[in-house]
Amino acid sequence: MKNYNHIYFIGIGGIGMSALARYFNHHGFKVTGYDRTETVLTKTLVSEGIDIHYNDDPSQIPNDKEKTLVVFTPAIPSDMEELICVKEKGYRVLKRAQVLGLISQSKNCIGIAGTHGKTSITTLTAYIMHKSKVGCSAFLGGISKNYGTNYLLPNEDSDVMVVEADEFDRSFLQLSPDTALLTSMDADHLDIYGTDATIKETFETYLEMVPEEGTVVYKKGLNIKQKRCKTYTYALEDSSADFHAQNITIDQGAYIFDIHTPMGTIEGCKFTYPGKVNLENCIGATAVSLLNGVTPEEIKDIIPSYQGVKRRFDVQYEDSKVKYIDDYAHHPTEINATLDSIKALFPEKKITGIFQPHLFSRTQDFYKEFGQSLSKLDSLILLDIYPAREKPIDGVTSNLILTHCNAIKKRIVAKNEVLKALDSEQFDILVTLGAGDIDTLVTPIREYLTRNA
Sheet of 264-271: strand order equals 244-251, 254-261, 264-271
In this prediction, residue 194 has a pLDDT band, given cuts at 50, 70 and 90, of low
CB 266 within 8 A of CB 299: yes
- Per-residue buried b or exposed e for 314-330, using 16+ beta carbons within 10 Å of the residue's own CB: bebbeeeebbbbbbbbb
What is the C-alpha separation between 173 and 163, in angstroms, rounded? 13
Rounded alpha-carbon distances, angstroms, from residue 247 to 270, 283, 288, 289, 345: 12, 14, 21, 22, 18
CB 124 within 8 A of CB 281: yes
* Residue range 118-160, pLDDT digits in tens: 999 999 999 999 999 999 999 999 999 999 999 999 988 899 9
What is the C-alpha separation between 287 and 283, in angstroms, rounded? 6
* Residue range 76-111, pLDDT digits in tens: 888 999 999 999 999 999 999 999 999 999 899 999
What is the C-alpha separation between 116 and 435, in angstroms, rounded? 13
Asked if residue 186 has pLDDT above 90, the reply is no
Rg (CA), the chain: 22
Domains of the chain: 6-95 (3.40.50.720), 105-241+273-305 (3.40.1190.10), 314-451 (3.90.190.20)
Structure-model confidence comparison of residues 198 and 413, the more confident one? 413
What is the C-alpha separation between 442 and 80, in angstroms, rounded? 31
- Per-residue buried b or exposed e for 149-186, using 16+ beta carbons within 10 Å of the residue's own CB: bbbbebbeebebbbbbbbbebbbbebbbbbbbbbbbbb
Q: What percent of the chain is predicted at pLDDT more than 90? A: 81
pLDDT at 185: 85
pLDDT at 34: 97
Residue 264: CB atoms within 10 Å: 10
Q: Which residues lie closer than 8 Å to 60 by C-beta, 6 or more apart?
A: 32, 34, 53, 82
What is the C-alpha separation between 451 and 453, in angstroms, rounded? 6
Tell me 117's DSSP state: S
In this prediction, residue 200 has a pLDDT band, given cuts at 50, 70 and 90, of confident
Residue 203: CB atoms within 10 Å: 23
CB 229 within 8 A of CB 214: yes
Phi, psi dihedrals of residue 265, rounded to the nearest 5°: -100, 135
pLDDT at 153: 92
Four-point Cα dihedral 116, 283, 251, 449, nearest 10: -20
pLDDT at 366: 93
Residue 207: CB atoms within 10 Å: 22
Four-point Cα dihedral 292, 260, 334, 223, nearest 10: 80
Once rounded to an integer, what is the mean pLDDT over residues 208-226?
A: 92
Once rounded to an integer, what is the mean pLDDT over residues 392-406?
A: 97
In this prediction, residue 389 has a pLDDT band, given cuts at 50, 70 and 90, of confident
Asked if residue 190 has pLDDT above 60, the reply is no
DSSP 357-399: -B-HHHHHHHHHHHHHHHTTSSEEEEPPPB-TTPPP-TT-STH
What is the C-alpha separation between 308 and 271, in angstroms, rounded? 11
Asked if residue 407 has pLDDT above 70, the reply is yes
What residues pair up with 127 in beta bridges, in sequence order? none
Task: Specify the 3-state DSSP secondary structure of 2.
Answer: coil
Rounded alpha-carbon distances, angstroms, from residue 196 to 189, 259, 330: 9, 33, 18
Structure-model confidence comparison of residues 36 and 290, the more confident one? 290
pLDDT at 279: 95
End-to-end CA distance of the chain: 54
pTM of the entire structure? 0.84
- Per-residue buried b or exposed e for 2-20, using 16+ beta carbons within 10 Å of the residue's own CB: eebebbbbbbbbbbbbbbb
What is the C-alpha separation between 448 and 427, in angstroms, rounded? 14
What is the C-alpha separation between 355 and 379, in angstroms, rounded? 11
> Mean pLDDT in the chain?
93
